Chain A
Amino acid sequence: MNESAIRVRDLCKEFIVSHSGYASLKGALLWWRNRHRERLQALKNVSLDVRPGECVAIVGRNGAGKSTLLSILARVYKPTSGEIALSGRVAPLLELGAGFHPDLTGSENVVFNGVVLGLTRKQVAERMEEIVAFSEIGDYIDAPVRTYSSGMLLRLGFSVAVHVDASILLVDEALAVGDLEFQRKCLQRISEFKQSGGAILFVSHDMAAVREAADRAIWMHKGAIVNEGATEDVVAEYENSS
């Protein structure tokens, strides 16, 4: 298969930065005072490909545009210019169970999250047992999630994301979930996912995790790609640069 799972060409993203907190009606009424709003070039002509069955890591310092890139791929932001093409269903790993409602039970939240990620209610119901088993939540699945520990939230969130039959997984600094045992299970699940032709793009500051999981690495700095290639080379170069 030569077709890319993720294909990005000349992607640019510009943000308007405000230093006065968030907008208010007052700000809008006094628009002539702050006409000189600052623009931030978060991504500058980024192009990359991720093939099916490949796991690509993005490394770089804070503010390099790594998370912005992931968000654009998750269709949260609209690109300023450039094109992206994604083949198949995209599942962003939601950090700390984002979108979980504290007063609802684990299983009610699984239904909602599963449907947000593109399953039907019936499909979620069919997979419920599998999802609960993988997350190791056990009987707590019927308790409100406000009673969960952060580890339990992460495990449940991860479990939903890997059970939605996505062909592209976007991971933003969330691989270190739960204890060692669960981490081992996650890595195993990820390699299964790769074998079945899934593509993974992940962002991490944990170079050990990058070395272990990534087939290829991309180093970004201030919105542009500095270098890309074999994980070991790129990571070594990045580490030496600072």
Chain B
Amino acid sequence: MRGELKELWKYRELLLTFVVRELRIRYKNSALGFFWSILNPLVTVLVMTLVFKYVMGQQVPNYSAYVLAAYLPYMFFQLSLMDSSQSILQQISLLKKIYFPREILPIGSVLANFTHFILAMSVFFAYLLFVWIMNPGESPFRATVVWLPMLMLMQLALTLGLALIISALNTFYEDVKYIVSVGLYLLFFLSPIVYFVEQVYNAPGIPDEHRGTVYFIYNLNPIAMLMTAYRKVMLDPQPIVMTRDGKTHDAGVLPLDPVLMTICAVTCFGTLIFGYYLFNKKKWQFVERP
């Protein structure tokens, strides 16, 4: 694998060119260009806020901020996997003509989306600043935000690893991309994006003696863990008020569990290593699939 990495490093210029090209292509023929990257999550979160706050009765102050803090990273994950699943097949005619490290295609798709993610996060901080100015109180910026780059790195590793696996498998079995899109749809609901992890822990349907186990299993999903971590690192702890057995009670705030966080980190980087290994094992067969 060291040899493959060395080869990839030799072609870093091509990787950069490819990322720039992806970014150029995406909004080449649209009038609003990059603003679609921002507009899309903003409109989505606006609708989610309306539905969950006013229809479903989610009682969290500044709810949109909590949704955005998880939805923006989730969008990065989703778009990266969708793009990279097609990345090899779309360029197969080029692959049949010339050599370059094939992993440049899925990695480039992910990095292009990562660039958008970073820009979206800066817009998110601008939004927090705006809310704060309109509504001065406590500063919305927390000191723990220094952990944000670490979280983004973990998510990047996880996304790269899955992108490598998916792009390699989808080249042989096009069923993979359908499985991925269903999986992403389900994952959205299995991760704390429109709700909070405290609500999972205090869910009325779970018997008290199993709460710890359910919570642990729920958080083995690295995306669920990352979404919670993004919120806790960037935003104030949110007081969750829940209704159980006809009584309201304060569900409290759960701390970010270091053990679960470590498991998440191991999963993320492990996925990257496994994905890179699998991709390199398969990459010479792309052009001669039967």
B54 interface residue (CB < 8 Å to A): no
B96 interface residue (CB < 8 Å to A): yes
Q: How far is the CB of A69 from chain B (nearest CB, A)?
A: 14
Q: How far is the CB of A16 from chain B (nearest CB, A)?
A: 5
Q: What residues on B are CB-neighbors of A220 within 8 Å? A: none
DSSP class of B's interface residues: helix, strand, loop or mixed? helix
Q: What residues on B are CB-neighbors of A77 within 8 Å? A: 284, 287-288
Q: How large is the interface on A (under 10, 10 to 19, 20 to 34, 35 or more residues)?
A: 20 to 34
Residue of B nearest to A114 (CB): B17
Q: What residues on B are CB-neighbors of A95 within 8 Å? A: 97
- In the bound complex, how far is the Cα of B93 from the Cα of A101, in angstroms? 12
- If A74-B97, A76-B287, A108-B21 touch, whether A25 touches B173 (CB-CB below 8 Å) is yes
Contact with B along A12-37 (1 / 0, CB 8 A): 00011110001111101000000001
Most buried by B among A26, A75, A76, A98: A76
- If A28-B173, A108-B24 touch, whether A116 touches B290 (CB-CB below 8 Å) is no
Q: How far is the CB of A23 from chain B (nearest CB, A)?
A: 5
Q: How far is the CB of A129 from chain B (nearest CB, A)?
A: 19
Which one, B14, B91, B172, B175, contacts A115 given CB within 8 A? B14
Residue of B nearest to A91 (CB): B98
A71 interface residue (CB < 8 Å to B): yes
- In the bound complex, how far is the Cα of B188 from the Cα of A100, in angstroms? 36
Q: How far is the CB of B41 from chain A (nearest CB, A)?
A: 24
Q: Are B288 and A117 in contact (CB under 8 A)?
A: no
- If A15-B288, A23-B289 touch, whether A116 touches B25 (CB-CB below 8 Å) is no
Q: What residues on B are CB-neighbors of A98 within 8 Å? A: 93-94, 97-98
Q: Are A94 and B28 in contact (CB under 8 A)?
A: no
Q: How far is the CB of B227 from chain A (nearest CB, A)?
A: 30
A9 interface residue (CB < 8 Å to B): no
- In the bound complex, how far is the Cα of B96 from the Cα of A71, in angstroms? 8
Q: How far is the CB of A140 from chain B (nearest CB, A)?
A: 17
Which one, A15, A24, A101, contacts B174 given CB within 8 A? A24
Contact with A along B175-203 (1 / 0, CB 8 A): 11000000000000000000000000000
- If A23-B173, A23-B289, A37-B290 touch, whether A116 touches B98 (CB-CB below 8 Å) is yes
B248 interface residue (CB < 8 Å to A): no
B262 interface residue (CB < 8 Å to A): no
Residue of B nearest to A172 (CB): B97
Q: What residues on B are CB-neighbors of A28 within 8 Å? A: 172-173
Q: How far is the CB of B219 from chain A (nearest CB, A)?
A: 31
B40 interface residue (CB < 8 Å to A): no
Contact with A along B1-27 (1 / 0, CB 8 A): 000000000000110111001001100
Q: What residues on A are CB-neighbors of B176 within 8 Å? A: 25
- In the bound complex, how far is the Cα of B17 from the Cα of A76, in angstroms? 21
B261 interface residue (CB < 8 Å to A): no
Q: Are B290 and A17 in contact (CB under 8 A)?
A: yes
Which of A's residues lie within 8 Å of B, judged by CB?
Answer: 15-18, 22-26, 28, 37, 71, 74-78, 92, 94-95, 98-99, 101, 103-104, 108, 111-112, 115-117, 120-121, 144
Closest 7 CB pairs of A and B: A75-B99, A18-B290, A99-B94, A25-B175, A25-B173, A115-B17, A103-B28
14 contacts between A and B (CB under 8 A): A23-B172, A74-B99, A75-B99, A76-B97, A77-B288, A78-B284, A92-B98, A94-B98, A99-B94, A115-B13, A115-B14, A115-B17, A117-B98, A121-B17
Which of B's residues lie within 8 Å of A, judged by CB?
Answer: 13-14, 16-18, 21, 24-25, 28-29, 91, 93-100, 172-176, 284, 287-290
Give me 15 other A-B pairs in contact (C-beta within 8 A), A71-B97, A116-B94 excluded. A18-B290, A74-B97, A76-B98, A77-B284, A92-B97, A94-B98, A101-B21, A103-B25, A104-B21, A104-B25, A104-B28, A116-B100, A117-B98, A121-B13, A144-B28
